[in-house]
Amino acid sequence: MNNFEYKNPVKILFGKGEISKLKDEVPENVKIMLTYGGGSIKKNGVYGQVMEALAGWEIIEFGGIEPNPHYETCMKAVEVIKHENIGFLLSVGGGSVLDATKFIATAIYFEGDDPWDILAKGAEVKKAMPLADVITLPATGSEMNGNSVITKDSTKEKMAFSSLLIMPQFSILDPETIFSLPEKQVANGIVDAFVHVIEQYLTYPVNSPIQNRFAEGILLTLIEEGPKYLKNRDDYDSAANFMWAATMALNGLIGAGVPQDWATHMIGHELTAFHGIDHGRTLAIVLPGIMKVKSEQKKEKILQYGERVWNISEGDDEARVQKAIDKTVEFFESVGVPTKLKDYGVPVETTVKIVNRFVDRRFKIGENRDICPAEIQLVLEDRL
Amino acid sequence: MNNFEYKNPVKILFGKGEISKLKDEVPENVKIMLTYGGGSIKKNGVYGQVMEALAGWEIIEFGGIEPNPHYETCMKAVEVIKHENIGFLLSVGGGSVLDATKFIATAIYFEGDDPWDILAKGAEVKKAMPLADVITLPATGSEMNGNSVITKDSTKEKMAFSSLLIMPQFSILDPETIFSLPEKQVANGIVDAFVHVIEQYLTYPVNSPIQNRFAEGILLTLIEEGPKYLKNRDDYDSAANFMWAATMALNGLIGAGVPQDWATHMIGHELTAFHGIDHGRTLAIVLPGIMKVKSEQKKEKILQYGERVWNISEGDDEARVQKAIDKTVEFFESVGVPTKLKDYGVPVETTVKIVNRFVDRRFKIGENRDICPAEIQLVLEDRL
C-alpha cells in the first residue's frame, strides 16, 4: 500500500425523515441561500420538507442550476451573495447543484481576477463559505467529498477542482427523495458510481486488500441493487443501498493508498463539453475503450475484477480480460445506458477535436501517466 | 438499512516516515504533554522520531500508562496538566495509552465531583483538550474513533465512554512502528480487530450489503494478513494491511445503519477486570460462547459469515453454524490465543462473580438486548 493522508469530516444523516433534522444542523441566526436545479424539488415534496424544517430562518432561493453546472450560472449566485448577507449555503438537489454550490462557496472569496482560475489554473482555494446539502440523486458522491466539476459554457470546457474547504458540513441522504427521479437519471447514477469505483480500483496492484475488497463490495452492491431499484422504484431498501454505495464510491476511502486512473472521466468530460451527453453516459462510452487499450498495463487488476465481481474464472488471460470488458458493457446496457458513440450521434470529427485538446494540454493521463493522445484516439475509435 | 448518523473527522497519516509530519500537524506555540506506556517507544526508535519531529516544542512527558489504563493513573496526569500550561496531548503508543489520553483530555474539564462519573454514570462530555496520536499497535481502533475504555483499579471496574469531542485531531499510522511488538501483542491485536468487526456484523440482517461486504473484507484481510505478519515480522505490506484493517474495524463505518452486539466485549471486560487477562484474549474466550448460545437469533448472519468468510457451504444449518464457530476458534488458536477459561486459570467462582455483576446492573445485553444473566452463565460455562 502507498502512503496516504485521509480526512473526511462530512457528517452524514442517512435515512427516511432525516430532512427534518436540518433545524438542528444549520447554524442559528444566519441567512441561508438555498440552491437548487430545475425545480423538481418543488414537485416531489423535498422543497416542502426543507422549508418546514427551516421555518424561522431567512432563506434566499437560487434555482435554475443546470446539469453540468455552468460557471456563468455560479457567478450569478456570487453576485446575489455579494448583495445579501448570506451566511450559509444549502444545496438541495443532485451532484450538479452541489458542485455548483461548492464553487460558489469559494468563488465569493477569490482574490484574483477570475475564479475560473481555480479550475483552469489550479489557483489555491484559501477560504470557502460553510455549505451543506440534501442530496437527491445518488451518483457523483459529491455529498461526501471536496470535489466539484464545473463547465464554462462560453468555451465548452469542463474542469474539476478539489479542496477540504468545500466539503459539506453535513449531508442529508434520504432514500425516499429518489423515488421520483426519472429512470434515466437513476441509470446514469448507477454507471457514474460504478465508474468512480473502477477509476480507483482497475489500475495495478499495490497489495491493498482492504481497499480492493471495499471497492469490489461497492461494485457488487451496485450490480445487485441498481437493477433491482430500477425495477421497483418504491423499494426503500434498494434505494438506500444504491444511495450509500454511490456515496462510498467517492468519499476518498477506497482510493486511499492506491493508484488512481481517472482517464475515463477526463475523456468523458470532453464528450459532455462538446455534445452535452450526460456525465454517467460518457463514462459508459469511454471505460470499455480504456479497459481494452490499457489491458496489458491493467491486466492483473482486470483479472481480479473479472473473478471477484463477475465470477470469470475460465479461459486464458486474454479471454478473461475480454470477458470482463464484455460483462461491464452488458451491465451498462442492461440498465439502459448505451456504450457506443454512434448511440449518441457523436461524429468522428468530435474524436479528432478531443484528441487535439489533449495534444494542447501536453500531459498524459491514467494511473501511469502514460496515456498519450494517440492512445486516446484508439480508445475513441474503439467506441465508434 | 437503519437510519444513522456518521461523522469521523480524524485525519489519518498512513505509512513509513509519516511521524516526521508531526511538525506540520501539531499546533504551534503550545506546550505538549506526551503520553506513553511502559517505555517501549524509547527502545524501538519511535520516541526518537517523535522528539526529532517536535524539536522546538516544549514537551512534558507522562509515561507509565498501563495496559487497561487505570483511572487512577489518568487522574495523576490531570494533576500535572493543572499545574502546567499544557495545550495539546500527544499519545504515543497503543490503544491503552490513547484511551487514557482521551479520558485525561476531558477529565481535566469535568465539572462534577468525580470524572469517573463519565464512565460509570454516563455523565456528559462537554469539553475536551485537543489530542492526537502516533499509534504503535493495531488493535483497538482508538486512533479513528471517539471511544475510550478505562479501568478503576480500586474497584476492578472496566467501563467505556464515547464522544466526538475525544476523537484525535490526527492519527499517525506507521506500520514500521509495529515491527518490534511482542508476538503476543500482535496476536491479541488480530483477535481484537476481528471481534470488533464481528460485534457489528454477526447480529441479524437489515439488508445492508455495503456494511456486510466491508465487514467481510476486513475479516478476510485479518485472516490472510494477520498470520502472514506473525510469520514475517519485518514484512511492511502485511504490517500495513493488518494496521489499516484494525483501524477500519472500529471507525464507525461498518457499524453505521446496522444493529450492534458488544456482548462479547462487555463480558470480556469483566474477565480483564477480575484477572487482568489481555483484552483481545478475553474476546477470544467469550465470542465462541456467544455464537453458540445466541446461534438461533444470529443464525442468518452466522450462515452468511460461514459461507463468505470461511467458504462453508455444505451441511444443514446446524452443522454449518457449528462449523463457523469451530473455524473461528481455530483461527484464534492458530495465532496463539487460547479460547478456554481454563487456559488462563480462571476458576468457576469468577463466572459466578461476573454473572452477579450483570444481575446488579439490571440491563440485558446483545443486539436484541435479550442476553440475561442466565444466558451469560451459559456462555461462560461453555468456555470453561
Residues A159 and A150: their CA atoms lie apart, in Å, by 6
Tell me the pLDDT band of A362, cut-offs 50, 70 and 90.
Answer: confident
Q: Are B170 and B276 in contact (CB under 8 A)?
A: no
Supply the pLDDT for residue B375: 97
Question: Residue A96: CB partners within 8 Å, gap ≥ 6?
Answer: A37, A65, A66, A67, A68, A69, A140
Mark yes or no for CB contact A9/B9 under 8 Å: yes
pLDDT of residue A105 exceeding 90 = yes
Residues A126 and A17: their CA atoms lie apart, in Å, by 35
Out of A12, A216, A257, the one facing B14 most closely (by C-beta) is A257
Quick one: which of B144, B196, B189, B203 has its CA closest to B170? B144
* Digitized pLDDT (tens) for each residue of chain B, 384 residues in all: 999 999 999 999 999 999 999 999 999 999 999 999 998 999 999 999 999 999 999 999 999 999 989 999 999 999 999 999 999 999 999 999 999 999 999 999 999 999 999 999 999 999 999 999 999 999 999 999 999 999 999 998 889 999 999 999 999 999 999 999 999 999 999 999 999 999 999 999 999 999 999 999 999 999 999 999 999 999 999 999 999 999 999 999 999 999 999 999 999 999 998 999 999 999 999 999 999 999 999 999 999 999 999 999 999 999 999 999 999 999 999 999 999 999 999 999 999 999 999 999 888 999 999 999 999 999 999 999
Q: Which residues of A touch B22 (CB under 8 A)?
A: none
What whole-number percentage of chain A has pLDDT above 90?
96
Supply the pLDDT for residue A281: 98
Residues B91 and B251: their CA atoms lie apart, in Å, by 18
Out of B6, B11, B220, the one facing A7 most closely (by C-beta) is B11
Residue A162 at interface with chain B, using a CB cutoff of 8 Å: no
Mark yes or no for CB contact A15/B4 under 8 Å: yes
Q: A11-177 and A183-382: same fold?
A: no
**What is the rounded average pLDDT of the residues A277-305?**
97
Q: What residue of B is the nearest CA neighbor of A225?
A: B209
Question: Residue A197: CB partners within 8 Å, gap ≥ 6?
Answer: A215, A218, A219, A222, A249, A254
Residues A270 and B349: their CA atoms lie apart, in Å, by 73
Residues B178 and A150: their CA atoms lie apart, in Å, by 44
ipTM given for this complex = 0.97
Out of B10, B12, B217, the one facing A214 most closely (by C-beta) is B217
Tell me the pLDDT band of A200, cut-offs 50, 70 and 90.
Answer: very high
Domain B11-177 is found in CATH 3.30.930.10: no
Write down the CATH number for the domain with range B183-382. 1.20.1090.10
Residue A10 at interface with chain B, using a CB cutoff of 8 Å: yes
Total Cβ atoms within 10 A of residue B327: 17
Residue A227 at interface with chain B, using a CB cutoff of 8 Å: no
Name the minimum distance, in Å, from the CA of A72 to any CA of chain B: 33
Supply the pLDDT for residue A214: 98
Quick one: which of B178, B165, B90, B176 has its CA closest to B133? B90
Domain ranges of chain B: 11-177, 183-382
Specify the pairing of strand B86-93 against strand B31-35. parallel
Supply the pLDDT for residue B318: 97
Could you give the C-alpha distances from B220 to A108, B141, B198, in angstroms and in order?
48, 17, 12
Residue A207 at interface with chain B, using a CB cutoff of 8 Å: yes
Residue A240 at interface with chain B, using a CB cutoff of 8 Å: yes
Residues A142 and A160: their CA atoms lie apart, in Å, by 12
Here the contacts of B220-228 (C-beta below 8 Å, separation 24 or greater) are B220/A209, B220/A213, B220/B309, B221/A209, B221/A210, B221/A213, B221/B245, B222/B190, B222/B193, B222/B194, B222/B197, B222/B246, B222/B249, B223/B194, B223/B309, B223/B331, B224/A209, B225/A209, B226/B186, B226/B190, B226/B194, B226/B335, B227/B334, B227/B335
Q: B115-157: per-residue pLDDT in tens?
A: 999 999 999 999 999 999 999 999 999 999 999 999 999 998 8
For an interface test with A, the pick among B10, B167, B210, B237 (most A C-beta atoms closer than 10 Å) comes out as B210
Q: What residue of A is the nearest CA neighbor of B144?
A: A7
pLDDT of residue A292 exceeding 90 = yes
Supply the pLDDT for residue A339: 98
Mark yes or no for CB contact A244/B257 under 8 Å: yes
Q: Helix, strand, coil % (nearest 5) of chain B?
A: 55, 15, 35
Q: A28-64: per-residue pLDDT in tens?
A: 999 999 999 998 999 999 999 999 999 999 999 999 9
Mark yes or no for CB contact A241/B207 under 8 Å: yes
Mapped onto helix, strand or coil, the DSSP state of residue A361 is helix
Residue A47 at interface with chain B, using a CB cutoff of 8 Å: no
Residue A245 at interface with chain B, using a CB cutoff of 8 Å: yes
Mark yes or no for CB contact B214/A216 under 8 Å: no
Residue numbers of B between 257 and 316 with CB closer than 8 Å to A: 257
Supply the pLDDT for residue A173: 98
Phi then psi for residue B260, to 5 deg, are -130, 150
Q: Which residues of A touch B7 (CB under 8 A)?
A: 9-12, 170
Residues B77 and B101: their CA atoms lie apart, in Å, by 9
DSSP character at residue A357: H
Backbone region of residue B19 per phi and psi (left: phi > 0; alpha: psi in -120 to 50; beta: other values): alpha
Mark yes or no for CB contact B237/A1 under 8 Å: yes
Mark yes or no for CB contact A5/B17 under 8 Å: no
pTM exceeding 0.90? yes
Residue A87 at interface with chain B, using a CB cutoff of 8 Å: no
Q: Which residues of B touch A3 (CB under 8 A)?
A: 14-18
Residue B227 at interface with chain A, using a CB cutoff of 8 Å: no
DSSP character at residue A41: G
pLDDT of residue A282 exceeding 90 = yes
Residues B355 and B196: their CA atoms lie apart, in Å, by 23
Residue B164 at interface with chain A, using a CB cutoff of 8 Å: no
Mean of the per-residue pLDDT values for chain A? 96
Mark yes or no for CB contact A9/B8 under 8 Å: yes
